[in-house]
């Protein structure tokens, strides 16, 4: 992986296009840089001025008396390729292209962006942008950006007292990227970097993450993504971050059609399907963020308690406001947390401090009186001491520091000594002095109770997933060396009978079935089966057989089989006279069980994704499906099934015996191997339905379809 030091930690910076006029971006960028005590060398490049904002200017990067690490380009898009070429020749190592007007425009812009890629490759230039708003490296005090967020800061780039727990922002959108800083800095969060990557013609967000993992000065990552271009980079970096216990919190736009539209027009990012991104994030324990305020707050909680993540979801609440405690309890439960009653021993300890109108049950209503006597910190310590509790939230009012000043020493001591996260929610607007005091003491302070609850849920989930997935996070070794498939995957969809043969080769059995060409054969096969059968037309030109009357079910005797054979033939000829019909499949009716859907489809970025869902009426009312990248182990398949709302049905609701979930998971795992091994040739696999019988009796694949990866295959026909 490329070292990005020349870009992010340069010793010398040329600002190409620098202007004395600070009302334009070309002037403002230099001004912003100079507002901070960057210790490297700065070289304004200007054709019209020999001095810019008090610095000696040079007509070209080639004229600068030293080799430049970073060139910041703030010039019209059309002039960028030529300038970049000049930088390459002059030995510049990295370029930051602040200009807009590239791939986010159609036509010429795309052309320019392609040129940038070629020039960068030719000279080995690290290129960030175009259409970025620049970055900030707080340790180097270097902020090559025109973002107002870095221009007039009421305080230093990082809180001085904060020596660990640094957060980096990596964002495709400049506005959103620096907004994380703008929102987080007043909360006393220490940002290591803000890097905005714009159109990502060359450098992508996850490459920046990787560099920062190498560098080791960042503990939590906040990302704003419009898309992911390189799945391999994403997988590698996400896995590394998880192994290192450095959480990534992501906002991914494009959940809606309008959001996708915006992403395309904005940074030319073709956002894929959101459900696929969700599945990828889940695989690597990436936390999905909802908005910038919540994201910085959750990042802050991770930054503070990263080495003391909660071991479960049981929250103790301490409060002086009974109403606030109850409201927060509701919010905790809504976020998937539990608020259990405390144990008798802990309650007895707390009760000695409470007036009769307080309560120690949980929420612990200490009342104003107990808070005055023992302080928030001591109450928090008492609650945290219960073994029924994994984390604590204190309901406070941080509109003044009076109370906190009184218990200052103990606030620090409790935060230092606790093994469980203690978070604070202020139901009033916190004043800066209170934010500083509580943050410095070691408590993440929240103003939104839902975010506070979600932070604990996210930390608990992260800890669980980290433990469980550490072993599995590197892509599984795919079992290869399977014998060649019995049916070649060519350019046309496989019929059900062919698809079933492919599955059989993988050890996935289905109901007894045979392809027949005549009614007599059909009757004979049905007789051999000796029970009710289904008859189904088999043609690569008729994928949705039922819709055309190509399926007849529950045929119990020779007469009905013969009748059905004729009827199907008639209907198929009428609807699709030119269809290539391979014959009819006579298939034993599957025994009863739970209808499920299992499938695979290739995602353009992430490759084969495995999909499972509840079948039948349930599937049509509630879109109850779960998705994960292939391959999947059996235990991962079980986990995936657990994500379904209807998963309880597998356990045997309604007095039914439990279903053979194990067999279903095995089928999913095998299918995922097929998907990975033939990722280049298969586009879609649909097993719909799969009947899951009761435990020990396996599953029946009742219909199957395999569509090769090939232009022109329209699965809708």
Phi first, then psi: give them for residue 704, nearest 5 degrees. Answer: -145, 145
* Residue number, 397 or 633, with CB nearest to its own copies: 397
By CB under 8 A, residue 325 contacts its own copies: yes
Binder of its own copies out of 38, 62, 105, 524 (CB under 8 A): 105
CB of 183 to its own copies, least distance (A): 6
CB-count exposure of residue 467 (10 Å: 0-12, 13-18, 19+): exposed
DSSP 3-state of 483: coil
Question: Can you tell me the distance from the alpha carbon of 315 to that of 304, in angstroms, rounded to the nearest whole number?
Answer: 18
DSSP state of 164: S
DSSP state of 269: -
CB of 59 to its own copies, least distance (A): 28
CB of 469 to its own copies, least distance (A): 27
Q: Which of residues 373-432 bind its own copies (CB under 8 A)?
A: 397, 399-400, 427-429
Report residue 665 as tokens: 């998971």
- Evaluate whether 27 touches 17 at the Cβ level (below 8 Å): no
Query: Taking contact as CB under 8 A, which single stretch among the options 4-12, 356-364, 376-384, 668-676 is the one that binds its own copies?
Result: 356-364
Cα 650-654-655 angle, rounded to 5 deg: 95
CB of 63 to its own copies, least distance (A): 31
Instruction: List the one residue out of 506, 392, 516 whose CA is nearest residue 459.
Output: 392
* Residue number, 69 or 226, with CB nearest to its own copies: 226
Helical residues (DSSP H) of 224-256, grouped into ranges: 231-243
- Evaluate whether 42 touches 55 at the Cβ level (below 8 Å): yes
Report residue 543 as tokens: 């994928």
CB of 694 to its own copies, least distance (A): 16
β-pair type (55-56, 51-52): antiparallel
CB of 100 to its own copies, least distance (A): 5
Report residue 291 as tokens: 């908005």
By CB under 8 A, residue 361 contacts its own copies: yes
DSSP state of 561: H
CB of 291 to its own copies, least distance (A): 6
* Residue number, 448 or 681, with CB nearest to its own copies: 448
Greatest Cα-to-Cα distance within the chain, rounded to the nearest angstrom: 99
SS3 labels along 482-502: CCCCCCCCCCCCECHHHHHHH
* Residue number, 215 or 288, with CB nearest to its own copies: 288
Binder of its own copies out of 232, 244, 270, 334 (CB under 8 A): 334
Binder of its own copies out of 156, 323, 486, 591 (CB under 8 A): 323
Q: For residue 146, what are the contacts with CB-CB under 8 A and spacing of at least 6?
A: 25, 28, 29, 32, 74, 98, 133, 134
- Evaluate whether 570 touches 593 at the Cβ level (below 8 Å): no
* Residue number, 103 or 495, with CB nearest to its own copies: 103
Query: Taking contact as CB under 8 A, which single stretch among the options 35-43, 102-110, 137-145, 160-168 is the one that binds its own copies?
Result: 102-110
SS3 labels along 136-160: EECCCCECCECCHHHCCCCCCCCCC
By CB under 8 A, residue 153 contacts its own copies: no
* Residue number, 375 or 631, with CB nearest to its own copies: 375
DSSP state of 524: H
By CB under 8 A, residue 332 contacts its own copies: yes
CB of 142 to its own copies, least distance (A): 21
Binder of its own copies out of 331, 394, 441, 456 (CB under 8 A): 331
DSSP conformation letters of 441-455? HT--EES-HHHHHHH
Question: Can you tell me the distance from the alpha carbon of 300 to that of 38, in angstroms, rounded to the nearest whole number?
Answer: 26
Binder of its own copies out of 53, 172, 510, 688 (CB under 8 A): 172
Q: Which of residues 652-711 bind its own copies (CB under 8 A)?
A: 653-654
* Residue number, 397 or 466, with CB nearest to its own copies: 397
Cα–Cα separations (whole angstroms), residue 486 to 504, 506, 513, 584, 687: 9, 10, 16, 19, 18
Q: Which of residues 183-212 bind its own copies (CB under 8 A)?
A: 183, 186
Phi first, then psi: give them for residue 684, nearest 5 degrees. Answer: -140, 140
Q: Which of residues 480-509 bind its own copies (CB under 8 A)?
A: none
CB of 90 to its own copies, least distance (A): 29
Instruction: List the one residue out of 435, 396, 439, 434 whose CA is nearest residue 415.
Output: 439
DSSP 3-state of 109: helix
Query: Taking contact as CB under 8 A, which single stretch among the options 67-75, 83-91, 96-104, 603-611 is the one that binds its own copies?
Result: 96-104
CB of 171 to its own copies, least distance (A): 7
By CB under 8 A, residue 82 contacts its own copies: no
CB of 186 to its own copies, least distance (A): 6
**Helix 519-529, helix 558-575: angle, nearest 10:** 130
By CB under 8 A, residue 575 contacts its own copies: no
* Residue number, 267 or 636, with CB nearest to its own copies: 267
CB of 193 to its own copies, least distance (A): 18
Size of the site for its own copies (CB under 8 A): 92
* Residue number, 58 or 191, with CB nearest to its own copies: 191
Phi first, then psi: give them for residue 442, nearest 5 degrees. Answer: 120, 20
Instruction: List the one residue out of 586, 575, 465, 460 whose CA is nearest residue 523.
Output: 586
CB of 254 to its own copies, least distance (A): 7
Instruction: List the one residue out of 137, 171, 178 whose CA is nearest residue 6.
Output: 137
Q: Which of residues 587-616 bind its own copies (CB under 8 A)?
A: 614, 616
Cα–Cα separations (whole angstroms), residue 497 to 585, 657, 703: 7, 31, 9
CB of 139 to its own copies, least distance (A): 23
Query: Taking contact as CB under 8 A, which single stretch among the options 313-321, 459-467, 494-502, 597-605 is the one that binds its own copies?
Result: 313-321
By CB under 8 A, residue 134 contacts its own copies: no
Task: Give the H or E element holding residue 244.
Answer: none
* Residue number, 109 or 144, with CB nearest to its own copies: 109
CB of 231 to its own copies, least distance (A): 22
CB of 355 to its own copies, least distance (A): 8
CB of 515 to its own copies, least distance (A): 28
Binder of its own copies out of 13, 18, 32, 171 (CB under 8 A): 171
Question: Can you tell me the distance from the alpha carbon of 360 to that of 214, in angstroms, rounded to the nearest whole number?
Answer: 47
Q: How far apart are the two ends of the chain, measured CA to CA in Å?
A: 45
Q: Which of residues 612-651 bind its own copies (CB under 8 A)?
A: 614, 616-618, 620-622, 645-646, 648-649
Cα–Cα separations (whole angstroms), residue 263 to 130, 224, 267, 273, 447: 15, 12, 6, 13, 30
Q: For residue 547, what are the contacts with CB-CB under 8 A and spacing of at least 6?
A: none
Binder of its own copies out of 84, 92, 128, 149 (CB under 8 A): 149
* Residue number, 47 or 645, with CB nearest to its own copies: 645
Q: Which of residues 232-291 bind its own copies (CB under 8 A)?
A: 251, 253-263, 265-267, 290-291
Question: Can you tell me the distance from the alpha carbon of 709 to that of 468, in angstroms, rounded to the nearest whole number?
Answer: 34
Query: Taking contact as CB under 8 A, which single stretch among the options 111-119, 358-366, 465-473, 695-703 is the one that binds its own copies?
Result: 358-366
Binder of its own copies out of 356, 481, 483, 577 (CB under 8 A): 356
* Residue number, 169 or 503, with CB nearest to its own copies: 169
* Residue number, 244 or 368, with CB nearest to its own copies: 368
CB of 96 to its own copies, least distance (A): 18
**Helix 231-243, helix 205-215: angle, nearest 10:** 30
Binder of its own copies out of 40, 101, 569, 607 (CB under 8 A): 101
Q: Which of residues 443-482 bind its own copies (CB under 8 A)?
A: 447-450
């Amino acid at each position: 992986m490329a070292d990005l030091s020349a870009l992010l930690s340069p010793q010398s910076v040329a600002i190409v296009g620098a202007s004395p006029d600070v009302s334009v971006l070309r002037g403002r960028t230099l001004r912003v840089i100079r507002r901070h005590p960057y210790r490297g060398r700065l070289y304004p490049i200007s054709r019209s001025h020999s001095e810019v904002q008090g610095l000696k200017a040079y007509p070209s990067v080639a004229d600068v008396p030293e080799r430049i690490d970073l060139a910041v380009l703030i010039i019209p898009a059309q002039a960028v390729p030529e300038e970049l070429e000049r930088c390459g020749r002059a030995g510049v190592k990295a370029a930051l292209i602040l200009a807009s007007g590239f791939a986010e425009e159609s036509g010429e812009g795309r052309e320019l962006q392609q040129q940038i890629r070629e020039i960068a490759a030719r000279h080995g230039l690290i290129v960030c942008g175009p259409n970025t708003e620049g970055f900030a490296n707080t340790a180097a005090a270097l902020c090559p950006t025109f973002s107002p967020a870095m221009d007039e800061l009421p305080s230093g780039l990082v809180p001085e007292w904060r020596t660990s727990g640094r957060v980096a922002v990596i964002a495709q959108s400049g506005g959103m990227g620096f907004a994380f800083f703008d929102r987080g800095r007043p909360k006393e969060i220490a940002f290591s970097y803000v890097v905005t990557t714009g159109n990502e013609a060359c450098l992508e967000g996850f490459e920046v993450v990787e560099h920062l993992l190498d560098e080791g000065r960042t503990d939590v990552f906040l990302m704003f993504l419009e898309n992911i271009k390189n799945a391999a980079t994403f997988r590698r970096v996400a896995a590394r971050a998880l192994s290192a216990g450095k959480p990534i919190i992501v906002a991914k736009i494009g959940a809606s059609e309008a959001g996708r539209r915006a992403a395309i027009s904005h940074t030319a990012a073709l956002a894929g399907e959101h459900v696929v991104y969700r599945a990828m994030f889940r695989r690597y324990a990436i936390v999905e963020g909802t908005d910038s305020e919540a994201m910085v707050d959750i990042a802050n909680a991770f930054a503070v308690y990263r080495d003391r993540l909660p071991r479960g979801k049981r929250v103790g609440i301490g409060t002086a406001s009974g109403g606030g405690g109850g409201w927060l309890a509701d919010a905790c439960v809504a976020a998937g947390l539990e608020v259990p009653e405390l144990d008798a021993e802990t309650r007895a300890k707390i009760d000695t401090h409470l007036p009769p109108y307080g309560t120690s049950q949980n929420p612990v209503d200490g009342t104003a009186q107990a808070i005055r006597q023992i302080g928030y910190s001591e109450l928090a310590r008492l609650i945290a001491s219960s073994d029924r509790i994994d984390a604590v939230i204190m309901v406070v009012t941080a509109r003044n520091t009076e109370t906190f000043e009184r218990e200052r020493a103990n606030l620090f001591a409790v935060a230092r000594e606790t093994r469980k996260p203690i978070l604070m929610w202020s139901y009033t607007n916190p004043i800066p002095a209170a934010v500083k005091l509580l943050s410095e003491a070691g408590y993440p302070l929240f103003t939104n109770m839902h975010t506070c609850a979600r932070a604990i849920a996210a930390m608990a989930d992260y800890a669980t997933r980290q433990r469980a997935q550490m072993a599995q996070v590197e892509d599984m070794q795919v079992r290869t060396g399977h014998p060649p498939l019995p049916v070649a995957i060519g350019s046309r969809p496989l019929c059900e009978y062919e698809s079933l043969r492919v599955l059989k080769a993988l050890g996935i059995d289905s109901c007894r079935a045979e392809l027949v060409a005549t009614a007599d054969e059909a009757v004979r096969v049905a007789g051999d089966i000796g029970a009710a059968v289904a008859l189904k037309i088999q043609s690569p030109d008729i994928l949705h057989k039922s819709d055309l009357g190509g399926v007849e079910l529950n045929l119990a005797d020779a007469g009905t089989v013969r009748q059905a054979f004729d009827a199907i033939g008639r209907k198929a000829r009428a609807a699709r006279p030119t269809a290539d019909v391979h014959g009819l499949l006579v298939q034993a009716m599957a025994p009863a069980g739970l209808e499920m859907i299992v499938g695979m489809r290739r995602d353009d970025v992430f490759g084969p994704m495995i999909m499972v869902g509840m079948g039948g009426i349930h599937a049509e009312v509630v879109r109850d499906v779960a998705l994960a990248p292939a391959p999947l182990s059996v235990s991962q398949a079980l986990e995936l099934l657990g994500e379904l709302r209807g998963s309880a049905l597998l356990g045997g609701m309604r007095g039914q015996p439990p279903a053979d979930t194990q067999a279903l998971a095995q089928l999913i795992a095998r299918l995922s191997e097929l998907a990975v091994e033939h990722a280049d040739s298969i586009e879609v696999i649909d097993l719909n339905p799969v009947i899951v019988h009761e435990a020990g009796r396996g599953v029946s694949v009742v219909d199957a379809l395999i569509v090769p990866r090939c232009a022109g295959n329209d699965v809708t026909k």
